[in-house]
Structure 1
Amino acid sequence: MWKVKPPIVYSKETRYRPILESLVPPDPLSQFHLRRGSPEEEFPDLKRNNTWMGRILTPAMYRRQFQRCTNSGVMFDDVIRPGLEEPGEWSDPVTVGCVAGDAETYILFCDFLDRIIEAHHKHKVTNLTPESDFNYDNLKGGDDFDRSYAVRCEVSVVRGVEDFSFPSHCSRGERRQLLTLARKALAQFEKEEGLPGRLFLLDELNQDQQNELNLKPPTSFQMRTGVARDWPDGRAVWMSKDSSLSVWVNMDDHLRLESVRDDANIAVAFKCICTNLQKLGDLYRKLRHPFVWKQQLGWVSSSPADVGTGLRISVHLKLKHLPTHTRLQEVLKRLRVCMDKTESPAVWRVSNAASFGESEVSLTQLVVDAVKLLVTMETRLEANRDIDDIVPSQK
């Protein structure tokens, strides 16, 4: 097997990211003649905001970003809009509260976004290139979960495509071009890999077909932030005939690959994602639109919550006693996973809390090990035994 070599690094991103700010015109927004007040007058009310954006943004930081915009027109207020639209509740998990309108956003607003990324992923942004490892043979376990508890698993990964704005900012024309690009890449993918499938255009599906594909209408939040603008124009999903792989186009990101298994075999699902993502990435490079990579962050897409690997590993567990245990949140924090309720009674979704700071194999191993420990805790609680001696130490 192999370790993936990082894509070509652009020289201007190799050193001293703050220097990039000096390359931007001092007042690029002045040409638009926007009717805005001063930064002090425009600063948002963040008193009840429970997002990382609300916790980190200060008037001084807002003033520094105020007159900046990317070449495609993304300004700072576009970046922080999600956190203003949904400020969150104090009892809920903290979300990032911001979004990138294009790849340049991560460079131009790096003094803000780097702090968001560090807070959310609990990992420092440095000049070192993040490790990327798709060697699925290094994964230990994942195919041996107790099926009395593990009922399902999902492995997904998101990617942004170079030279296009991200979903919250892209135009109809860009979205349609991305769909055309996906058609070409997926057609070649089927031909070269011998994995037959079918591309479904959302605007051609009736309600029964949408239900069969488990498609849900966009949320009000997606509509307000522009992610679902012009829905369902330019959206599609490719499904392999053996149901092992699905590729979502222009939904929450440019591309999202997903492998779902009802036997909870996360090792097979992870292998499916690793091999097919690599092949699809090669095809996009041949089409001269590679996936977006940033030297200090790794793979980037629209959400700072997905930088680094873009990987989300989830296992659905039947749990009765552990969800009400007083030490659950402490355990989850130390395992670096999160757990939330699913639509099924007594079934909980366990997934990685971060995607940055670890390689793909390491993140998957983290979830595999966490699931095994949580199942062990559940079996102890079923037998009225204590779990204090197997609570992990602080990492």
Structure 2
Amino acid sequence: MWKIRPPVEYAMEAKYRPFLESLVPLDPITLLKVKRRSPEEEFPSLDGNRTVMASVLTLGMYKRQYNRATDSGVMFDDIIRPGLEDPGQSSGPVSVGCVAGDAQSYILFCHFFDRIIEAHQGYNMSGNQESDFNYDNLKGGDDFDREYTLGCEVRVSRCVEDFSFPTHCSRGERRQLHSLAKKVFGQMGEELPGALVSLGDLHQSMLGEGLTVETATDIRIKTGVARDWPDSRAAWINKEGNLVVWINVEDHLQLVSARRDSNIKEAFESACIHLQKLEALYRESRHSFIWKQHLGWVVSSPAMVGTGLKASVHLQLRHLPLHKRLGNILERLRLHMDTTGSRGVFKISNAQTIGFTEVEFVQMLVDGVKLLTAMERALEEPEGSIDHLVPAQK
């Protein structure tokens, strides 16, 4: 028995409803003949999984995303595959554990990706992202203490409109991206001279100090990024050899500007100039870099959206890494310290990539490295203390 009034049936509406419903676009997943059982039966085992993905994903969230697919066929299981293939170790850095297959993934699976970005980067997804490549706004970065700083790097990722990301793109898409890169880099001109080299022909000797040849790592193979390696992968290297743009590796493009003299101001300036030139040329080719107002520059990893920028300085430290307050200090500075294979040299980088502009992130790194250097000097003194140097809570 109806508890509310039954819906009114109109004769013409009833007659034409089947036709009207036939015009509604089908969700792409209804066109896929995937042999799957219920979400409860397909839900992955997350026991012992240390990724951010595992900390966010619940059965309810999985069920909500289960019957969805992007126009290019990316399903939710494709999104979480990296965290299942590499669940992380009991110690060491925690990986994000997921990757987008295309730009639409961030829209269709936004409930999941927004939580991932908030958990991994400590950023409230209700805001809008801004971009700033005016390197003249950066204060310092060319005045580090060379006794402690041993090198620096600025790494920026970009993806191109109308193409799936490396984990999901077809062989033809990857080759088309390679052809597009040949066209664009051929137009760089004499003002920004360089050479485009296929990855199969690239040797370490062609790269400057601080740059290494990209390889098909185990995790890239497991997640599909390294399919057909090194087919349609390439590197554009500038004349000086201290800047390289990787094509079809982690993202469609990844620019790396490295210096051995720790002058991150120069490294950032070079990255900005080349990046803005590339953006203009790709836009002229009707393939702009992907930008969304609430996400900023969209790339395959949610750990890199916003600016797509990771700036880092190699810092030689003996006393500070042993200090009990180091973790809290880094958190307040919004910095990350990589201790892998350090031997007393630690890679200091921005912990976030979203929520601030490119210039602001590099400025945080510059100011943070100077403060960490001052702390190291203070601890070298007998009975040295850093209490007076600890920054206020962020």
Same fold (TM over 0.5): yes
**Residues 207 and 241 in structure 2, CA contact (< 8 A), matched pair in contact too:** no
**Residues 51 and 88 in structure 1, CA contact (< 8 A), matched pair in contact too:** yes
Which has the greater radius of gyration? 2
Give the Cα–Cα distance (whole angstroms) in 1 for the partners of residues 350 and 52 of structure 2.
18
Q: Which amino acid aligns with 2:120?
A: H
SS in structure 2 of the partner of residue 81 of structure 1? helix
Q: Which moved more, 1:221-230 or 1:339-348?
A: 339-348
SS in structure 2 of the partner of residue 146 of structure 1? coil
The reply to whether residue 317 of structure 1 matches residue 323 of structure 2 is no
For residues 73-115 of structure 1, the C-alpha deviation after alignment (integer angstroms, 9 at most, x for no partner) is 1000000001111111242222211000000001000011011
1:40 offset after TM fit, Å?
A: 0.5
Instruction: Go from structure 1 to structure 2 and tell me whether the alpha carbon gap of 1:24 and 1:333 turns closer, same or farther (over 3 Å shift).
Output: farther
TM-score by length of 2: 0.90
Give the Cα–Cα distance (whole angstroms) in 1 for the partners of residues 24 and 70 of structure 2.
9
Which residue of 2 is the match for residue 368 of structure 1?
A: 366
SS in structure 1 of the partner of residue 139 of structure 2? coil
**Residues 332 and 338 in structure 1, CA contact (< 8 A), matched pair in contact too:** yes
The reply to whether residue 204 of structure 1 matches residue 198 of structure 2 is no
Alignment of 1:98-247 (within 5 A): 98-126=98-126, 128-191=127-190, 194-205=191-202, 214-247=212-245
Give the Cα–Cα distance (whole angstroms) in 2 for the partners of residues 130 and 93 of structure 1.
26
RMSD over aligned Cα, in angstroms? Answer: 1.9
Give the Cα–Cα distance (whole angstroms) in 2 for the partners of residues 75 and 379 of structure 1.
52
Q: Which moved more, 1:352-361 or 1:329-338?
A: 329-338
For residues 104-162 of structure 1, the C-alpha deviation after alignment (integer angstroms, 9 at most, x for no partner) is 00100001101101111111112x43111111111111110000001100011000000
Give the Cα–Cα distance (whole angstroms) in 1 for the partners of residues 207 and 374 of structure 2.
38
1:207 offset after TM fit, Å?
A: 7.8
Give the Cα–Cα distance (whole angstroms) in 1 for the partners of residues 104 and 40 of structure 2.
25
Q: Which amino acid aligns with 2:358?
A: E
Equivalent of residue 262 in structure 2, options 261, 264, 270: 264
SS in structure 1 of the partner of residue 280 of structure 2? helix
TM-score by length of 1: 0.90
Q: Paired residues, what number? A: 370
**Residues 210 and 216 in structure 1, CA contact (< 8 A), matched pair in contact too:** no
The reply to whether residue 292 of structure 1 matches residue 295 of structure 2 is no
Q: Which amino acid aligns with 2:307?
A: T
1:29 offset after TM fit, Å?
A: 2.1
Which residue of 2 is the match for residue 52 of structure 1?
A: 52
Which residue of 1 is the match for residue 357 of structure 2?
A: 359
Q: Percent identity?
A: 58
SS in structure 2 of the partner of residue 167 of structure 1? coil
Give the Cα–Cα distance (whole angstroms) in 1 for the partners of residues 65 and 342 of structure 2.
44
Which residue of 2 is the match for residue 12 of structure 1?
A: none
SS in structure 2 of the partner of residue 190 of structure 1? coil
**Residues 179 and 250 in structure 1, CA contact (< 8 A), matched pair in contact too:** yes
**Residues 28 and 67 in structure 1, CA contact (< 8 A), matched pair in contact too:** no
Q: Which amino acid aligns with 2:112?
A: F
Give the Cα–Cα distance (whole angstroms) in 1 for the partners of residues 244 and 172 of structure 2.
24
**Residues 244 and 272 in structure 1, CA contact (< 8 A), matched pair in contact too:** no
Which residue of 1 is the match for residue 15 of structure 2?
A: none
1:292 offset after TM fit, Å?
A: 0.5
Runs of 5+ unmatched residues, structure 1: 1-22
Give the Cα–Cα distance (whole angstroms) in 2 for the partners of residues 204 and 93 of structure 1.
33
Which residue of 2 is the match for residue 64 of structure 1?
A: 64
1:47 offset after TM fit, Å?
A: 2.3
Which residue of 2 is the match for residue 326 of structure 1?
A: 324
**Residues 101 and 168 in structure 2, CA contact (< 8 A), matched pair in contact too:** yes
Instruction: Go from structure 1 to structure 2 and tell me whether the alpha carbon gap of 1:207 and 1:348 turns closer, same or farther (over 3 Å shift).
Output: closer
Give the Cα–Cα distance (whole angstroms) in 1 for the partners of residues 24 and 264 of structure 2.
45
Q: Which amino acid aligns with 2:141?
A: G
Give the Cα–Cα distance (whole angstroms) in 2 for the partners of residues 27 and 228 of structure 1.
29
Q: Which amino acid aligns with 1:267?
A: K
**Residues 155 and 310 in structure 2, CA contact (< 8 A), matched pair in contact too:** yes
Give the Cα–Cα distance (whole angstroms) in 1 for the partners of residues 255 and 93 of structure 2.
25
Give the Cα–Cα distance (whole angstroms) in 2 for the partners of residues 187 and 113 of structure 1.
36
Which residue of 1 is the match for residue 300 of structure 2?
A: 302
Give the Cα–Cα distance (whole angstroms) in 2 for the partners of residues 211 and 373 of structure 1.
29
Instruction: Go from structure 1 to structure 2 and tell me whether the alpha carbon gap of 1:26 and 1:177 turns closer, same or farther (over 3 Å shift).
Output: closer
Give the Cα–Cα distance (whole angstroms) in 1 for the partners of residues 176 and 214 of structure 2.
23
**Residues 50 and 94 in structure 1, CA contact (< 8 A), matched pair in contact too:** yes
Which residue of 2 is the match for residue 381 of structure 1?
A: 379
**Residues 208 and 241 in structure 2, CA contact (< 8 A), matched pair in contact too:** no
